[in-house]
Chains A and B, each alone.
Chain A
Amino acid sequence: GENVEQHPSTLSVQEGDSAVIKCTYSDSASNYFPWYKQELGKRPQLIIDIRSNVGEKKDQRIAVTLNKTAKHFSLHITETQPEDSAVYFCAGSRGAGNKLTFGGGTRVLVKP
C-alpha cells in the first residue's frame, strides 16, 4: 500500500518568513495529493491540493509543487502569520474520493 513520509515534524519560523514542508510517497498509482491544516481538537481542513497532471498550484500565500518522477511534493507558505500556526498533514490517494494515506504531520509555529 501507499506510504507517505513527511518532514520536518516541527517547524518554527518568524512571522513573515516562508515555511516549506516536504512529503514523499511510494505508490506510483497515487494521483491526488491534498494538504490539510488541523487545529487542536478540530477536523482537518483542506487548504490546497494537486493532481498528478499538474506540477505546481498556487492559492494566495500557499503553493504546492509535485515531482512525479521523484515521488515527492511540497507545501510552501509565504509571508507566514501567527494564524498559520497549526499541524499540517500531506496525504496521497488514487483519486480525490478514495482513501487517503496521511503523512506524519508537521507542527508549525509562527513566532510574532
Chain B
Amino acid sequence: GAVVSQHPSWVICKSGTSVKIECRSLDFQATTMFWYRQFPKQSLMLMATSNEGSKATYEQGVEKDKFLINHASLTLSTLTVTSAHPEDSSFYICSARPASAGVPYNEQFFGPGTRLTVL
C-alpha cells in the first residue's frame, strides 16, 4: 500500500510553454501533498504545501503565479509550471500524507518524480 504516482515521468518542452505535472495517491486519500524541486546534485527543496480544497502554501522565494498548484480531490494534486524557462529544468517530486491525520506520527510517501527539461 501507500503508493504515489506522478505523471509524466519526464517531459521536454519549449521555453514559454506551460507544463502540468500530476501527483496521485493510488491506494489512500491524501489531504496534504507536498511539492519538492531538486536540481542536479542538490538537495530536495520544498516548494509548496498543497491542501485539498484550499489554497496552497508556498515557501519563501517560490512564485505562486508561476507554479500553480491545484489539489481538487483527496487523491490528486497538480503542479503547473507556467511560461517555463530553462532555469525551471529540474526534478519535481511530490509526497502525499494520508488523510487519517489524527495520529501524531503519520507518514508521507514520495512519488517517483518528474524530470522537466525546458529547451
Chain A interface residues (CB < 8 Å from chain B):
1, 32, 41-44, 46, 51, 89, 95-97, 99-105
Contact = CB atoms under 8 A, between A and B. Distances in A.
> Would you call the interface of chain A mostly helix, strand, loop, or mixed?
loop
A95 B105 contact: yes
Contacts of B32: 97
B93 interface: yes
B83 to A, nearest CB: 26
A47 to B, nearest CB: 13
Contact of A43 (B34, B49, B113): B113
B115 A97 contact: no
B68 interface: no
Contacts of B42: 104-105
Interface of B: 32, 34, 42-46, 49, 60, 91, 93, 95, 97-98, 101, 104-108, 110-113, 115
A108 B65 CA distance: 38
A51 B45 CA distance: 22
Contacts of B91: 41
Contacts of A95: 104-105
Given A43-B93, A104-B43, A105-B43, A97 B108 contact: yes
A41 B41 CA distance: 10
Contacts of A99: 34, 46, 49
B90 to A, nearest CB: 12
Contact of B45 (A44, A97, A102): A102
Nearest to B46: A99
Given A96-B108, A97-B107, 18 more contacts: A41-B91, A41-B113, A43-B111, A43-B112, A44-B44, A44-B93, A46-B107, A89-B43, A89-B44, A95-B104, A97-B97, A97-B101, A97-B105, A97-B108, A99-B34, A100-B95, A100-B108, A102-B45
